A and B are shown apart, each in its own frame.
Chain A
């Protein structure tokens, strides 16, 4: 069975600080997809990124960057120069290539960015 662990329950930073959200996953499958979603106070989950298990290239999108390391089963998410609008709960999720597109989510990390 697959599992996603987000050990950081809550992180507080001051605006403009960099922050990294950790994600560790477990699966016996060799092919899978990893996702990050943002859940602002409004409640709607917003897709941020998808990465397949064959592509370990790091990705940068504006202030967001993702570090995928298959050797340590980690898919960490860094926000550079954080802003108050980044305050939300962030979820890491895993999907196997079979299994009907079912997402297995971690428990989420609450990020609070203060002025």
Chain B
């Protein structure tokens, strides 16, 4: 079974530029998550989708970050404009459901460097 796919793996941009990340979850997984992992810290949830609806985006900086999950499968996370403090690894995860003890499966992440 294919795991969670993410692209690109690495991205370097200048501040104030825009960037987009893509995630393809495990087939059949209804719930998709985007996490931000700053160096030396644990992952922090940015947004959670159940199918193509948003369940939790309380920690998403909505003035510059946006995310969508069209058709309830793939998802994109966008940052516009980027700031230096956005340098981090962006992890996508998916799970069968959004409640209970469903295990989250993580992708390899996209390492973003903002200069």
Asked whether, in the complex, the Cβ of A107 is within 8 Å of the Cβ of B41, the reply is yes
Interface residues of B, CB < 8 Å — how many?
A: 31
Question: Could you count the A-B residue pairs with CB atoms below 8 Å apart for me: how many are there?
Answer: 64
Interface residues of A, CB < 8 Å — how many?
A: 25
A100-B48 contact in complex given A42-B108, A47-B105, C-beta closer than 8 Å: yes
Asked whether, in the complex, the Cβ of B101 is within 8 Å of the Cβ of A107, the reply is no
Is B44's CB within 8 Å of the partner chain A?
yes
Q: Which of B3, B42, B99, B107 contacts A106 (CB 8 A)?
A: B42
Asked whether, in the complex, the Cβ of A93 is within 8 Å of the Cβ of B42, the reply is yes
Chain B residues contacting A106 (CB-CB under 8 Å) are 42
Asked whether, in the complex, the Cβ of B107 is within 8 Å of the Cβ of A44, the reply is yes
Asked whether, in the complex, the Cβ of A102 is within 8 Å of the Cβ of B48, the reply is yes
Q: Which of B42, B56, B95 contacts A107 (CB 8 A)?
A: B42
Asked whether, in the complex, the Cβ of A4 is within 8 Å of the Cβ of B102, the reply is no
Is A101's CB within 8 Å of the partner chain B?
yes
Asked whether, in the complex, the Cβ of B109 is within 8 Å of the Cβ of A43, the reply is yes
Asked whether, in the complex, the Cβ of A101 is within 8 Å of the Cβ of B41, the reply is no
* Chain A residues in the interface with B (C-beta under 8 A): 4, 33, 37, 42-47, 50, 52, 91, 93, 95, 97-103, 105-108
